[in-house]
A and B are shown apart, each in its own frame.
Chain A
C-alpha cells in the first residue's frame, strides 16, 4: 500500500531560523512522483515542487530546498531563514505512475513562524 507520513504535526520557530519538514513515503512502485503543497491560512493549496522517482538531485529555490533520498524513502523540505509569511500547513504527497492522478497526501505539518 502507498502511504505518506509527516510525523511532525506542528512546528514553531522564530523568524530567521531554519526549519526542516520531514516526509517519509511508502510504495512498491519503481516509478512514482512526490510533491509538496503549501496551504496558507487563507485555505488554498499552492504547489511547491514535483519530483519523479528517478531524479534524486536536490533542488533549491530561493529559501526553499528539498532533499530526496530513495534509500530512506524520504523527501524532506527545508526553509532557510524562515519568515512569518511561511506560516502555513505543508503537505507532502505521492502519486503513482499508472493509477490515474490520485495524490496520496500526508497529514500535513503546521508551521508557525513567530516574529
Chain B
C-alpha cells in the first residue's frame, strides 16, 4: 500500500530533550516536506527536500533540523524542544516539487513539550 508513515504518532516530552520524528514514504517520491498545524495559525511548512541531499527552509524552520540521506526517509529533529513547539506535525511527499502533483500526507504526530 502506498503510504507515508510517521513515528511516533504521539509524544510527550520535556523541554530540552532531543527528539526525532521519523517520516518514511514507499512511493519513490522525490519531494518531501514537513508541516506543523496549530490552532488559529493553520498549516505551515517547516522544511522541505527537493531530492536526496537537497533540503531548504520553509516558513517556520527555527528550532528544527532535517536530513535527507535516503530518498524514502526525511526525519525531523528537534535538538532542544521548547513548549512553543507543541503542535501537530505532518510529513508529506509528492513525485516532484511544484503543484503538478498532489502531496500525500502522513497520519500526523502530536507532540507535547512540557
**Which A residues fall within an 8 A CB radius of B?**
32-33, 35, 37, 43-47, 50, 52, 91, 95-98, 100-103, 105-108
Which 9 A-B residue pairings sit nearest by Cβ, starting from the closest? Answer: A33-B99, A95-B99, A45-B105, A101-B97, A105-B43, A47-B102, A105-B42, A107-B42, A102-B45
- Taking the closest CB of chain A, its distance from the CB of B50, in whole angstroms, is 7
- A49's nearest neighbour on chain B, judged by CB, is B102
Query: CB-defined interface of B85-104 with A at 8 Å, one 1/0 digit per residue?
Result: 00010101010111111111
Q: Contacts A102-B48, A103-B43 given: A52-B105 contact, CB under 8 Å?
A: no
Q: How far is the CA of A96 from the CA of B100 in the complex (A)?
A: 10
Contact for B48 among A35, A52, A91, A101, CB less than 8 A: A101
Question: A residues within 8 A CB of B48?
Answer: 100-102
Q: Is chain B's interface secondary structure helix, strand, loop, or mixed overall?
A: strand
Cβ of B105 and Cβ of A43 under 8 Å apart?
Answer: no
9 sample A-B contacts, Cβ–Cβ < 8 Å, listed by A number: A45-B108, A47-B103, A50-B101, A52-B99, A95-B99, A96-B99, A98-B98, A100-B56, A101-B94
Interface residue B58 (Cβ < 8 Å from any Cβ of A): yes
For residue A101, which residues in chain B have a CB less than 8 angstroms away from its CB?
Answer: 31, 33, 48, 94, 96-99, 103
